[in-house]
Amino acid sequence: MKKTITLKSKTWKRDSHGLFDYESKETQKHKLMIQENSYVIRKNDTVELEKSLGSTSTGLAYIVSSGSSYKILPLSEPLWKVVRDLKDESSNKAYILKQNDTLKFGRVKYVVKELRSSPSEDMVNAKEIEVDTEGSSCKICLSEVTEPDNPLVSCCHCAGTMKYIHVQCLRMCVAALMTVKNNEKCITYTWKSMSCSLCGEPFPNAVRANGTLYHILSVQRPEIPYFIIEASSTHGNNRGMQIVSLKNSESVMLGRGHDSDMRISDISVSRLHARIKFHQGQFILEDHNSKFGTLVQVNEIELVPNEHLALQCGRSLLTFKLKNS
Ligand SMILES: [Zn+2]
Ligand SMILES: [Zn+2]
């Protein structure tokens, strides 16, 4: 049986930080039918299909048949799942969060670092470090003395007399770069730069030397359930980590407004933008009719017959539906 994909596209006429305005009437709409492998491209404000990529257009996605179905792959820019267009079984517009997901609120990106709903061992991403520091001294305190809980380690590209630093001196450097703010539900750790001031190499969160784990970034973890997300964009002052506990409430509101639990200060973020709730052991992300959307990055995604799939790519919104024709 032959299958056809219907692609409805909307392109926001303004080109602003790859945003799509979900409230704007100034959009260019198109409907296309797809039956074979195709590139979805944008020429000016128009979404079209091509057999190959030209140089005058922006490649948005590649649609490729895969067995009896179709897959959608990103091209030059990332593809984002649109949370407000998702439907779960109870037809809520919601997305179940997974570790390492990249989320976008307006233009501000976060990576999900930790989702913890049951007590378990700390999963720390430690940097493995070889220790052979005979005759070396610490670049901060200049001492050669080491203790079992305070070895000299090399954790960046600095060399020579600048190579080694005590674990405790490193912790002090990291702590000095960080500010901590506390409110009822969130602990916010922010920093302008978390890297070596000499070589620019980012500091590790933890190091493992001679089989022993040393935490460098000491963040205070609340009681379960909680989640940790880390800012990954460079917009505004949104650098750092947010640790949010859902022990005493069902959900937290994310947004630019003072009444949100987790504040994201960027003009592209709505005052009450999105909600994260904890329900039946899962962390669920919901959009709150935000102007510029709540998005989750996807690498490749398979079309499910008769289900809508809404993806944003830059200022274009692409809605796919696979049908037997
Ligand atoms: Zn030292
Ligand atoms: Zn360095």
Q: What's 202's domain CATH number?
A: 3.30.40.10
Could you tell me if residue 253 is inside a domain? no
**pLDDT number for residue 238:** 56
Ligand 2 centre and the CA of 135: distance in Å?
19
Distance 179 CA to ligand 1 centre (A): 22
Residue after which a domain boundary falls, among 219, 253, 285: 219
pLDDT at position 216: 85
What is residue 235's predicted lDDT score, i.e. its pLDDT?
Answer: 54
Q: Domain limits at 146?
A: 123-177+194-219
The two three-digit tokens of residue 292, written as one number: 């510029």
- Between CA 254 and CA 276 the distance in angstroms is 8
Phi, psi for 292 (deg, rounded to 5): -110, 10
Q: Indicate the residue type of 137.
A: S
Picking from 204, 219, 234, the residue at the C-terminal end of a domain is: 219
Question: Is 172 within a domain?
Answer: yes
Helix, coil or strand: residue 241? strand
The rounded distance, in Å, linking the Cα atoms of 31 and 38 is 15
Nearest CA to 104 among 82, 72, 130, 136? 82
Q: pTM of this prediction?
A: 0.82
Expressed in angstroms and rounded, the spacing between residue 110 Cα and the centre of ligand 1 is 33
Distance from residue 220's CA to the centre of ligand 1 (Å): 24
| 133, part of any domain | yes
Task: Give the distance (Å) from ligand 1 centre to CA of residue 180.
Answer: 24
258 domain residue, yes or no = no
CA 193 to ligand 2 centroid distance, Å: 13
**Predicted local confidence at residue 211, as pLDDT:** 84
Q: State how many domains the chain has.
A: 2
List of long-range contacts for 259-265, beta carbons under 8 Å, 24+ apart: 261/183, 261/184, 261/185, 261/186, 262/185, 262/186, 262/188, 263/188, 264/105, 264/106, 264/108, 264/238, 265/236, 265/237, 265/238
pLDDT for res 222: 81
pLDDT of residue 288: 94
pLDDT tens for each residue of the chain, 325 residues long: 678 999 999 999 999 999 999 999 999 999 999 989 999 999 999 999 999 888 788 999 999 998 878 999 999 899 999 999 887 555 567 899 999 999 999 999 999 988 988 776 555 566 777 777 778 899 999 999 999 899 999 989 999 899 999 999 999 998 888 888 888 788 878 777 778 889 988 888 788 888 888 888 777 778 889 998 988 866 555 578 888 888 888 899 999 999 999 989 899 999 999 999 999 999 999 999 999 999 999 999 999 888 889 999 999 999 999 987 6
The ligand whose atoms approach the alpha carbon of 147 most closely is 1
Tell me whether residue 32 is in a domain.
yes
- Domain annotation covers residue 232: no
Q: Is 202 within the bounds of a domain?
A: yes
